[in-house]
Structure 1
Amino acid sequence: MSFSQNYIFSFCQFGHLKMAYGSISHLGHPPCFITSGSCCFLRRWVYRIRDGSYFITVDDKDYESPVFLLPDGRSLEQVWHIKYVDDDHVVIMNPATKRSLGVQEARSGAFIFAAWYEQQWKLTKSGEKEDHYNIVYPEQVDGEDLSIGVSSARVYPPLVALHGSPRRTIHWELDRFGPPESRGSEREIPRFRSQLRW
């Protein structure tokens, strides 16, 4: 069985396909994930990261700027490469601007920036919503886990920020956008536990 045939077979075993722009969409599971026992695996694809109909977006400026949410604009500023640093940590980079999701000071309410440095995060399965994910700061801050959510600031477009409160936690969906940059090995994401301790 070829790589592509095996890949599609894995998708079919998982149950559904979900293409960002394909004819088959909104069926509940990204095709980049396959199951094995109690874990699922993340292939080296690029994704759009969304909450409902709003996507994490970066502007095209050449300096560090806040990250925000916008409806589907089908632009490269809404595309993110989830790159594994090791078995537990990822860097989330926008290929168009070469900037990554970062934070200047790790605290609840801090804005998320499109940064030139590679901030590391933990990507975990949501403990509340099936096939959703939390993007978590890798270390606890003042005894609590912080995850990427939406700022409470009443501005448009909504800004993205760190939060410790479960009320402001976003359980993100990952939509596959394009082909993998390489045929590297898959990575595990815990399926039945959450990094968040709420």
Structure 2
Amino acid sequence: MHLLHCAWDRSSSPWTLSISLHVCISSVPPPYAILSHRWAANLEDEVTFDDMMAGAADQKSDRCYAYLEDVRSIPGLLGHAFEWELGSSAWFSRGWTLQELLAPAEVEFFAQGLRPVGRKTNMTQLLSQISRIAERALLFGVDVYQASVAEKISWAANSITTRPEDRAYSLMGLFGVNMPTLYGEGHHAFKRLQHEIMRLTNHQSIFT
């Protein structure tokens, strides 16, 4: 696992932010956060792993920060405008959003301008309505909620990914499945995912 370590250097004025890349080989990583966002329209604006290695700029994180670039409103100021914009945000249609909602203990949401608009633990009912994920699953995790295979797959029914393979790969952690990622196999990836799920469980709901 590669983790970014960020720290403020207070010896200078103004303070400067130092960022370094650390390789974590421990089976028990330190508490860490993940940043969730949608890919920029211009991919050259994205910071890649190669960029980090050059010194340029298991989903069990303690916290996830979700940036919703298409949400302009904030709660409480314009009636139901925030709820409507949140429910319409393209972030919820991302294939990887499902794991980022369920795996971290907390998710903090930010609207345009990096304005904080709420957390998973204080917007659970609204997030459940938008995502169709049960409130108990959002709050306590899938293992505690004990969702069926069919219910888990239904949560991802309307997900959209840039590559068709990622519709399957983004669900591996949700089902505890390990299988090679073979970009280029297209929709066959989902068939492989189903086979692996059937190999690990005898839950008949997968056929629905």
Q: Same fold (TM over 0.5)?
A: no
* Bigger fraction of residues in helix: 2
Q: Which has more radius of gyration?
A: 2
* Bigger fraction of residues in strand: 1
Instruction: Give the TM-score of the pair, scaled to structure 1.
Output: 0.31
Instruction: Give the TM-score of the pair, scaled to structure 2.
Output: 0.30
